[in-house]
């Protein structure tokens, strides 16, 4: 009996320490600003992804359509199987309303309506999805539907899903939609609006959760792309074919926030260097960081900051012009970089410049 109790205790500790992630067929956790991988298990295994497909659907729609564009449900959108917002044939909603129906309750009918509106047809829209995946370096992703219902040659990986989600989360509208727990949109021929409740339970159960998308079919299993913010750091991840999808995603997020912190090497606007200037109205210009230089580090890691800039710069540049770069490395790997820009404009002090300035001053005096 004591031996049995000891075994139970061993497995409890084993699970608590973050080893209970093997149930997912594939999993990846990524820090958003740098794209650094914080955890990976079978990251490049090609698998069906169910409705997490709709992350790319929403991204393509946002990049190719106005939010107030009218989107009409055609014959192909009406009655699509699976989850639905129950569009009627010929019903029209704005693109923004369709996107809420797509991402909160995973409307397959909304996916088809969006696809036909943007791409002219489902096939045309899927071509846009595949082109965008290629642009993002997602070589193990291929789309044949805009909704993720089972289809041949429709697959992705946890790593590619994180890359796609990271790009989508750069869009403020996408970010707002996927973090919304409840929304209402019109319902044609009804006396009341549609009430949309987000299927992502992490939004209500995990501190700092901000998205992103659930997915389920028998073929794909339970799939979840998730994100959360804590301590100034945003972490996103994906699990594919994961029976305990919400709990395991929460455990992965906990592990990331416990083991990593966001290190800031430079603040936006911080002066880094005084660069010599040749032939200008000033003999030098301050180089400043155009944004914050940050990267996620574990407790036992030390980042090194490096710089690139010319020995000197010929005058004739404007304030904000890129003149150098700062970057952070850990063990030789560059995790983040930020442009260094001119703090002020330095005109060319040539004869023609002086002549033009003299003429401007003369005109000013005459007036």
* Residue-level pLDDT at 301: 96
Task: Identify whether 280 is part of a domain.
Answer: yes
CATH number of the domain bearing residue 314 = 2.60.410.10
| Buried/exposed 40-77: b ≥16 CB within 10 Å, e otherwise | bbbbebebbbbbbbbbbbbbbbbebbeeeeebebeeeb
Q: What is the SS3 assignment for 253-312?
A: HHHHHHHEEEEEEECCCCEEEEEEEECECCCEEEEEECCCEEEEEECCCCCEEEEECCCC
Tell me the C-alpha distance between 308 and 299, whole Å.
28
Task: Identify whether 235 is part of a domain.
Answer: yes
250 plus 110 within the same structural domain: yes
Verify cis geometry, omega within 30 degrees of 0, for the bond prior to 315: no
Tokens of 8: 């139970």
Give the active site residues.
51, 54, 106
* Residue-level pLDDT at 130: 98
288 plus 221 within the same structural domain: no
318 plus 181 within the same structural domain: no
How are beta strands 322-330 and 304-308 bridged, if at all?
antiparallel
Q: Is 7 buried (19+), middle (13-18) or exposed (0-12) by CB count in 10 A? A: exposed
Task: Identify whether 120 is part of a domain.
Answer: yes
Mean pLDDT of the chain: 92
Q: Is the predicted pLDDT of residue 251 greater than 60, yes or no?
A: yes
If one counts every other C-beta atom within 10 angstroms of the C-beta of residue 357, the result is 13
Tell me the C-alpha distance between 101 and 86, whole Å.
10
If one counts every other C-beta atom within 10 angstroms of the C-beta of residue 15, the result is 12
Domain total of the chain: 2
Q: Is the predicted pLDDT of residue 359 greater than 90, yes or no?
A: no
81 plus 187 within the same structural domain: yes
Nearest to 62 by CA among 153, 135, 129, 137: 129
* Cβ–Cβ < 8 Å for 270, 286: no
Task: Identify whether 175 is part of a domain.
Answer: yes
Tell me the C-alpha distance between 202 and 322, whole Å.
41
Tell me the C-alpha distance between 122 and 144, whole Å.
8
Long-range contacts of residues 244-247, Cβ cutoff 8 Å, at least 24 apart: 244/20, 244/23, 245/24, 245/214, 246/201, 246/202, 246/205
Enclosing domain of residue 212: 22-259
Nearest to 80 by CA among 129, 149, 142, 126: 149
Q: Is the predicted pLDDT of residue 261 greater than 50, yes or no?
A: yes
53 plus 113 within the same structural domain: yes
Q: What is the pLDDT of residues 170-224, one digit of tens each?
A: 999 999 999 999 999 999 999 999 999 999 999 999 999 999 999 999 999 999 9
Task: Identify whether 7 is part of a domain.
Answer: no
The pLDDT > 90 percentage for the chain reads 88
273 plus 244 within the same structural domain: no
Tell me the C-alpha distance between 196 and 181, whole Å.
8
* Residue-level pLDDT at 79: 87
* Cβ–Cβ < 8 Å for 311, 323: no
* Cβ–Cβ < 8 Å for 301, 330: yes
Better-scored residue on pLDDT, 162 or 361? 162
295 plus 225 within the same structural domain: no
* Residue-level pLDDT at 349: 83
Q: Is the predicted pLDDT of residue 257 greater than 80, yes or no?
A: yes
Q: What is the pLDDT of residues 232-249, one digit of tens each?
A: 999 999 999 999 999 999
285 plus 177 within the same structural domain: no
165 plus 225 within the same structural domain: yes
What predicted TM-score, i.e. pTM, was given to this entire model? 0.88
Q: What is the pLDDT of residues 33-66, one digit of tens each?
A: 999 999 999 999 999 999 999 999 999 999 999 9
Better-scored residue on pLDDT, 17 or 357? 357
Q: What is the pLDDT of residues 216-231, one digit of tens each?
A: 999 999 999 999 999 9
């Amino acid at each position: 009996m004591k031996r049995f109790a000891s075994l139970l205790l061993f497995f409890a500790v084993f699970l608590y320490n973050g080893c209970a992630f093997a149930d997912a067929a594939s999993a990846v956790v990524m820090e958003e600003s740098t794209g650094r991988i914080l955890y990976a298990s079978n990251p490049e295994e090609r698998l069906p992804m169910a409705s997490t497909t709709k992350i790319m659907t929403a991204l393509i729609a946002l990049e190719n359509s106005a939010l107030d564009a009218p989107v009409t449900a055609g014959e192909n959108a009406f009655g699509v199987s699976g989850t639905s917002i129950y569009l009627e044939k010929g019903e029209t909603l704005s693109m923004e309303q369709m996107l809420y129906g797509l991402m909160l309750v995973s409307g397959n009918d909304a996916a088809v309506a969006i696809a036909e509106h943007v791409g002219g047809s489902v096939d045309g829209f899927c071509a846009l999805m595949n082109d965008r995946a290629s642009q993002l370096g997602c070589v193990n992703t291929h789309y044949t539907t805009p909704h993720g219902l089972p289809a041949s040659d429709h697959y992705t990986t946890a790593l590619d899903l994180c890359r796609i989600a990271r790009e989508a989360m750069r869009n403020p509208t996408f970010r707002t939609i996927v973090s919304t727990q409840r929304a209402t949109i019109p319902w044609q021929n009804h006396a009341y609006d549609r009430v949309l409740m987000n299927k992502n339970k992490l939004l209500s159960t995990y501190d700092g959760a901000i998205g992103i998308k659930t997915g389920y079919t028998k073929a794909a299993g339970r799939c979840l792309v998730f994100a959360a913010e804590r301590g100034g750091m945003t972490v996103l991840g994906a699990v594919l074919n994961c029976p305990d999808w919400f709990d395991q995603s929460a455990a992965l997020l906990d592990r990331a926030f416990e083991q990593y912190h966001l290190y800031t090497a430079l603040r936006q606007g911080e002066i880094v260097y005084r660069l010599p200037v040749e032939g200008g109205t000033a003999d030098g210009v301050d180089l400043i960081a155009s944004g914050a230089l940050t990267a996620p580090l574990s407790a036992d890691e030390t980042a090194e900051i490096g710089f690139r800039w010319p020995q000197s710069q010929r005058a004739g540049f404007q304030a904000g012009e890129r003149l150098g770069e700062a970057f952070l490395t850990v063990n030789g790997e560059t995790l983040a970089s930020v442009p260094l820009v001119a703090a002020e404009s330095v005109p060319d002090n040539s004869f023609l410049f002086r002549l033009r300035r003299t003429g401007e001053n003369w005109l000013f005096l005459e007036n």
